[in-house]
């Protein structure tokens, strides 16, 4: 099995109408991205404070995005939800794994088998009305004594604001994961794990969250385990519809990647291991690219197809 090592370049949006200049500022344990005076999203660097006293310390983590806001200021994500305290806005973790003789779970942090740590904020930048950052994370097995580093991950983020009749915030993410040592991380076939998104709390319930995939699927049950180039997830946000479209780059491993759509909760992830076992080998970084488009309203399929063509233009 071979992974494509992608150059660390982002697709540009040269045919789009640029919006307000985007800024990125370190504020305490977060990096806050704004388009003009409108907040777009926050990158949580160091572990975030626990929002409720019922949450155990093992659930505390950093290295994720929350909140995520539309151009009108509607929040579309949740953090530390009561039913899944290990869900965090937009985040990355592997669930079922094998590392040597152990099976660390980096997703379900309450099991105390693994965790994903924020390591460092390498760079925060602003240029030509866009802004971004580079951050380091580490996947750590807690089943080893002492705990052992498994993967070193780099996140590269680039944010742009688009104006016009349908304003939107565009966020590009490149994740590069490399083995920390000489031991591979094996990923058996499993139904979830990878890049995850958790929608806002009032989207809970089978009827409260809407979906649209690149294959025209709107039924979350039919969409689960299907493959898609892109996915929109959204719902009612304080009286109007809002949501996020996630484009999965065609050079990603096993593209178009399988989806996990939870039957009742506002949770999705792109899970290439659904299609069979895989592994991340020493010396071969696992590189993934996604684009998030956060907007008010529900997009039409033809609109998203245009966004897709822009994103994948060579």
Note the pLDDT tens digit of each residue in 211-224.
999 999 999 999 99
Three-state DSSP class for residue 136: strand
Beta-carbon count within 10 A of 303 CB = 17
CA atoms within 13 A on the CB side of 46: 5
Token representation of residue 274? 């659904």
- Domain assignment present for residue 135? The answer is yes
Task: Give the strand order in the sheet containing 267-270.
Answer: 22-27, 30-35, 38-44, 64-68, 90-93, 194-198, 267-270, 257-261, 227-228
**What's the CA gap between 306 and 294, in Å, rounded?**
15
> Which domain CATH number covers 193?
2.70.98
CA atoms within 13 A on the CB side of 32: 10
Candidates 141, 266, 153, 245; CA nearest to 203 is 266
Q: What is the pLDDT along the chain (314 residues), one digit of tens a residue?
A: 434 333 334 444 434 466 899 999 999 999 999 999 999 999 999 999 999 999 999 999 999 999 999 999 999 999 999 999 999 999 999 999 999 999 999 999 999 999 999 999 999 999 999 999 999 999 999 998 899 999 999 999 999 999 988 999 999 999 999 999 999 999 999 999 999 999 999 999 999 999 999 999 999 999 999 999 999 999 999 999 999 999 999 999 999 999 999 999 999 999 999 999 999 999 999 999 999 999 999 999 999 999 999 999 96
Query: Could you tell me if 91 and 64 are in contact, meaning their C-beta atoms sit under 8 angstroms apart?
Result: yes
- Domain assignment present for residue 85? The answer is yes
- Domain assignment present for residue 3? The answer is no
What pLDDT sits at residue 19? 81
What pLDDT sits at residue 10? 45
Q: How far is CA 139 from CA 86, 142, 149, 181, 193, in A?
A: 15, 10, 6, 12, 13
- Domain assignment present for residue 166? The answer is yes
- Domain assignment present for residue 11? The answer is no
Assign 3-state DSSP to the chain and report helix, strand, coil percentages, each to 5.
10, 45, 45
Note the pLDDT tens digit of each residue in 87-123.
999 999 999 999 999 999 999 999 999 999 999 999 9
- Domain assignment present for residue 124? The answer is yes
- Domain assignment present for residue 206? The answer is yes
CA atoms within 13 A on the CB side of 145: 0
Q: Which domain holds residue 200?
A: 31-312
Query: Could you tell me if 185 and 151 are in contact, meaning their C-beta atoms sit under 8 angstroms apart?
Result: yes
What pLDDT sits at residue 17? 61
- Domain assignment present for residue 72? The answer is yes
pTM, rounded to two decimals = 0.94
**What's the CA gap between 308 and 314, in Å, rounded?**
12
> What's the total number of domains in the chain?
1
By the 10 Å C-beta count (0-12 exposed, 13-18 middle, 19+ buried), 82 is classed as exposed
Give Cβ neighbours of residue 196 (< 8 Å, ≥ 6 apart): 87, 90, 91, 92, 93, 267, 268, 269
């Amino acid at each position: 099995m071979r992974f494509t090592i992608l150059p660390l370049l982002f697709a540009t949006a040269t045919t789009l109408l640029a919006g307000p200049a985007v800024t990125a500022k370190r504020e305490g344990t977060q990096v806050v991205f704004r388009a003009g005076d409108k907040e777009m999203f926050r990158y949580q660097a160091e572990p975030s404070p626990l929002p409720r006293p019922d949450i155990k310390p093992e659930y505390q983590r950093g290295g994720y995005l929350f909140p995520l806001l539309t151009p009108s200021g509607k929040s579309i994500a949740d953090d530390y939800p009561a039913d899944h305290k290990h869900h965090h806005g937009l985040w990355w973790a592997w669930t079922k794994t094998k590392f040597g003789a152990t099976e660390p779970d980096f997703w379900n942090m309450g099991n105390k088998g693994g965790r994903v740590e924020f390591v460092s904020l390498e760079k925060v930048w602003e240029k030509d009305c866009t802004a971004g950052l580079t951050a380091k994370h580490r996947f750590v097995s807690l089943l080893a004594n002492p705990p052992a580093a498994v993967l070193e991950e780099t996140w590269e983020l680039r944010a742009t604001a688009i104006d016009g009749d349908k304003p939107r915030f565009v966020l590009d993410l490149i994740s590069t994961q490399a083995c920390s040592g000489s031991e591979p991380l094996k990923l058996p076939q499993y139904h979830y794990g990878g890049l995850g998104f958790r929608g806002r709390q009032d989207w809970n319930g089978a009827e409260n969250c809407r979906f649209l995939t690149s294959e025209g699927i709107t039924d979350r049950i039919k969409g689960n385990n299907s493959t898609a180039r892109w996915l929109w997830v959204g719902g009612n946000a304080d009286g109007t519809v809002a949501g996020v479209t996630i484009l999965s780059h065609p050079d990603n491993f096993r593209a178009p990647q399988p989806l996990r759509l939870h039957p009742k909760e506002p949770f999705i992830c792109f899970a290439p291991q659904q299609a069979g076992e895989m592994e991340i080998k020493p010396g071969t970084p696992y590189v993934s690219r996604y684009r998030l488009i956060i907007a008010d309203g529900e997009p039409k399929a033809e609109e998203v197809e245009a966004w897709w063509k822009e994103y994948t233009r060579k």
